Amino acid sequence: MKTITPEEVLNKLDANEDLHIVDVRENEEVANGIIPGAIHIPLGQIPERMEELNKETPYIFVCHAGGRSFSACSYLEGLGYDVTNLEGGMSAWEGELEF
């Protein structure tokens, strides 16, 4: 499975790269802030909301510490999606947040 560091994501955002970030945390966690531009799909909703994701689009998955996003990546990678796990999750994120 591919991984990316928070610093690498920040550098890509600073370079105005078009990133597709999916936050799999629960609603109450996202209420504390989300990476700007990220879409929110709680981990438990991934199977029923997969149609919102395009297999041709690379996605970066994030959760609190990296475990749930790892699970989402494992599941979707097995179905042919282009996924990358954010190492350390939001606990390692030092960039801006949207509320």
Produce one character per residue of 38-66: b if its CB has 16 or more CB atoms within 10 Å, e if not.
beebbbeebeeeeeebeeeeebbbbbbeb
**3-state class (DSSP) for residue 58:** strand
Q: Based on the residue annotation, tell me whether 73 is a catalytic residue of this protein.
A: no
Which residue among the candidates 34, 46, 62, 63 is catalytic per the annotation? 63
Q: Which residues are catalytic?
A: 63
